[in-house]
Amino acid sequence: MVTIGMPRALLYYDCAPTWNNFYRILGANVVVSPATTKTTIDAGVSLCVDDACLPVKIYFGHAVALAPLVDFLFVPRLVSIERGKYLCPKFLGLPDMVKAVLGERVRMITPTVDLSKSDRAIYRAVLTAASPITKNPVRTIAAWQACRRQESSSSASSQPEPESKVHVGVLAHPYIIKDAALSFGILEKLNEMGVQAILDDHPKFDADLPGTLQPGRRIFWTHEDRIYAAGMTMASTGAVDGIIVVQAFGCGPGSMIFDLLIRKFRREYSVPALTLSIDEHTGEAGIVTRLEAFVDMLLRTARGCS
């Protein structure tokens, strides 16, 4: 049986369930790297170029840990995952960067996913992705369609949300905030402080809400478009008492969109906002101190103290 390795980083948090299921339907064994640890971070930082953001460095830590355990590493070249929008250029160059570092240590599967013009472009990517297991297009497309059918029939059950006095919107790339080691467990810490964190991918922040820069114009990048739409909706509807932005130091798309959002929060909505910038030198104590001070301020406001 062919074993495929999935690094638990970057688009893993958006796309992994689909690809994992696809490979399992095809009869492959899928191995996902364990959750990020200090060892993963140190390995990634030592392998990757200094200029890259921490999420990309961490990807290398996951990839190198998987390499000896698998027949192939799955490293798609992600150009676009939805019509008319694109991913950060780091996602495009990822297979080349990983190849340059791991060399012959592992074989890679690197389908190009570019759905910017047509959803049907996925079929080319799917055929490439399946090629180490089967070259039969009928079997491959049938597996993909079965995978999509299973996805659409498994309805996401929404969990009841705990009651809390204070609601905080958290704006961040999913691969930062959902990786507890990378984000210093901010979500768990907020929960322990009695704060209800609301992420930008919450279903209530529909992408068609008032998130456009100008009527009819969307932001070029997929994640930033969603973050902007959710952030503007949170602020303009009063759905949250404060907003925390968590961004990777040196993130190009984030530096533009997050800065724009923070200015709007302050000028147009007077919503308190905290920005946390993360890289490999960030210390947990500094993050916790700022988080506690911010939450304390929100709790005092909620209690009517000035």
Binding site for ligand SF4 (CB under 6 A): 53, 55-56, 88, 90, 173, 248, 251-254
Q: CB-wise, 132 or 254, nearer to ligand SF4?
A: 254
Least Å distance between CB 232 and ligand SF4? 19
Rounded Cα–Cα distance for residues 306 and 299 (Å): 10
CB of 95 to ligand SF4, least distance (A): 14
CB-based contacts of 289, cutoff 8 Å, min separation 6: none
CA distance 127 to 139: 10
Beta bridge partners of 65: none
Closest distance to ligand SF4 from the beta carbon of 220 (Å):
12
User: For 244, phi and psi rounded to 5 degrees?
Assistant: -115, 125
Nearer to ligand SF4, 69 or 181 (CB): 181
- The answer to whether the beta carbons of residues 70 and 4 sit under 8 Å apart is yes
| Minimum CB distance to ligand SF4 smaller for 21 or for 183 | 183
Minimum Å distance from CB 77 to ligand SF4?
Answer: 14
Give the shortest CB-17-to-ligand SF4 separation in angstroms.
20
The Cα–Cα gap between 232 and 226 comes to 10
Please tell me the distance from the alpha carbon of residue 185 to that of residue 286, in angstroms, as a whole number. 13
Nearer to ligand SF4, 187 or 257 (CB): 257
Q: What is the C-alpha to C-alpha distance for residues 64 and 294, in angstroms, rounded to an integer?
A: 38
Decide whether 48 or 106 has the Cβ nearer to ligand SF4.
48
Residue 173 or 189 with smaller CB distance to ligand SF4:
173
Minimal distance, residue 161 CB to ligand SF4, in Å: 28
Return the number of other C-beta atoms located less than 10 Å from residue 25's C-beta: 18
Distance CA 153, CA 124 (A): 24
